Structure 1
């Protein structure tokens, strides 16, 4: 027996078939576009430009893909998320802050794809802000706003500072880096920075693309008088940490150690000079800058 399909039923089936095909095409196209954006078609620089120029909405940091956690526990372990902006279908623009003073600037920007991959940003200005002028030689010590101490033994330990602020969300005061600290320059040279002024001198030289090496160093041993009148003698570079340990044990004391004179300084050309007081030491530093 033949089945007769009326024109109305036939027309309805044709519409349903066409609709199914159309939905399939749209779904395939959407998937293809997503795959192209995420993995296949767009280079990181192009995707970053699209994110920058697109309309964005501010979202909570918790909205970032899970894959970004690996980056924030590795290369960006020293960074806090200040702001996250989402360009729908493209990716994320993330504003960062860091207490790692080896970086050129405290604030910077990074980009992630929708899947959470950190994009390779070739923009020189943004990249320069994230660059490091030097590497800290661990351990590095900080006094936190509650007078507790955090010691970083490796670069991965920067997350300890971030975790402290996550546990104390109302605290805005930043941690205090304890001096002296050792740093390693690009050429492998190890330098000891006695205070913040010496650190800023290194960073200024970095920003101006000049020689970052200190003009001179102390001939050891040297002795420091601490705020409680005790003395610490530095016989070798590692002994500078004894000064930091004193401040860890006395976190409420803001007065710094004072250098006992006279001391001998050694210039980069191996020549030496005897420094008899603080004024002469300051003059020697000024002469270096000039």
Structure 2
């Protein structure tokens, strides 16, 4: 009887230990997921980007991590996976990854912005502040883009020249070369219409024929 009692006691202790560890594991996973979602949300908020914002990212997107490393991500899923992996490798970190500059974004009228600093970003973003950001948080916010561009695309420069790009990497490189050569230009490159876009909500490809049509598309996307 004594042996049976000891066995039951040991089994109960082991069960409690396993249960406690399982709860701790769940908490760790939840902490990492919350951290990841909050970081992605704050990055979007800073740029007023996404389907309810005024801008979309021109991928790849550079992110500066607290340990000094900078990485490029090709889309939202890669961004989330990268931030999650970093947090798992740095569970005690309290600082958060941030945008790396230069940064490229596209306005709701097709204008392309290459921004060399956070100050430049703020100056552009303050022109279009939507109330959505004042009444939301990071929950259910991930993968918030409205569309992605279908390559090849044509870009029209302020001097009237039009260039064709077959991939996003060449596009970003060209935008930065232009910005470096024209740091004080008031006019900026913009999409040359028509342009094909893939809607993130449905996966359908739509052809946008003008700046006005692109603005309307963004408004529909945001529910305005």
TM-score (norm 2): 0.43
**Comparing both structures, which one devotes a greater share of its residues to helix?**
2
Q: TM-score, normalised by structure 1?
A: 0.34
Structure number with the higher strand fraction is: 1
Q: Highest CA radius of gyration, 1 or 2?
A: 1
